[in-house]
Structure formats: C-alpha cells, structure tokens
Amino acid sequence: MHEEAIDAKPFPRGMLIAAAAMIGLSIVLAGSARLWDFGATRVAYAPVADQRDLHFTDLEAGSVGVVDADRQQQIAELKPGEDGFVRVVMRSMARDRAVAGIQSDKAFRLARHNDGTLSLTDLATGEVVMLNAFGAMNTKAFEPFLALGRTKP
C-alpha cells in the first residue's frame, strides 16, 4: 500500500484570527446584553384595581385552606377532588419555591387589573402567573378569593 503524504500547509492564519475574533465578540455581546438587558422582553401589566394577599395551607384529610394573609383568617377550604386548577397552580408555585431553595412564609398576591385580567404573584420569588391565559373557567376558580370574608362598606 502506498501512503499519501499529508499536505504540510498550515491552516490559514487569517481564518484562525477571524474565528477567534467572532468567538470573542459573541462572548462580549452576550455578556453586555445580559448586563444591560438588551433584547429583554418586558410585559406591561394594567394597573391593579383590587388585590389580596393569601396563604394556602394544608389541612386535614387533604383539604387546602385559603387564608387572608393580613387578617390571618381562613376564607375558604378546598376539599379533595375539588378546585383542581387552584391546587395545580399552587402546587406548581410551591414547587418553584422549593427548587429555588426558598423556605418562605410570604404570601401570594391575587390581583384583578383594570383590564379585567387576574394575576397571581409569588411574593417570595417574584413569579407572576397571568391566570387569564388558562381560560375563563380556570380564572373563575380564583375570583372568589378576592371577595370572600371581606366586610362590605
């Protein structure tokens, strides 16, 4: 067998410099975008018309208590097999706290905005869930918590 000689020409120096420059520029641009928020998406929410801070606590037999955080008064009890959407959202947000290593007794803020949307904010993590994104039926599951147990003027 005849072995062919390997071409001894070096890789073009200009190409190496150009590749290194592109890599370096990419790193600088990515770092500056993160530092100064270039390309960041911000969502503008309508002003809040009504809000309430709530705690969700585990009760006996699988029920979940909905507690007004300011008054420390239970305003609702979610029985097992009922209010599935509320349970899923709250379990998800509690899981996010656990993953982030946050052991917090901070409340969740339920808010109705001037445009009619409903949001739930985790005051410990800053995570905001726009409940209207899940449809009207699911949004209605949270709506009563804004009024339950409040005294009417």
Which of helix, strand or coil describes residue 27? helix
Share the mean pLDDT of the chain: 86
Ranked by mean pLDDT, the top range of 62-66, 102-106, 146-150 is: 62-66
- Confidence class of residue 66 from pLDDT cuts 50, 70 and 90? very high
What pTM, to 2 d.p., does this model score? 0.69
Residue 1 has pLDDT above 70, yes or no: no
Number of H helices, E strands in the chain: 4, 6
Whole-angstrom distance, CA of residue 142 vs CA of residue 153: 22
Q: pLDDT, tens digit, for every residue of 69-127?
A: 999 999 999 998 888 899 899 989 989 888 988 887 889 999 999 999 999 999 999 89
- Confidence class of residue 61 from pLDDT cuts 50, 70 and 90? confident
Q: What is the pLDDT of residue 2?
A: 54
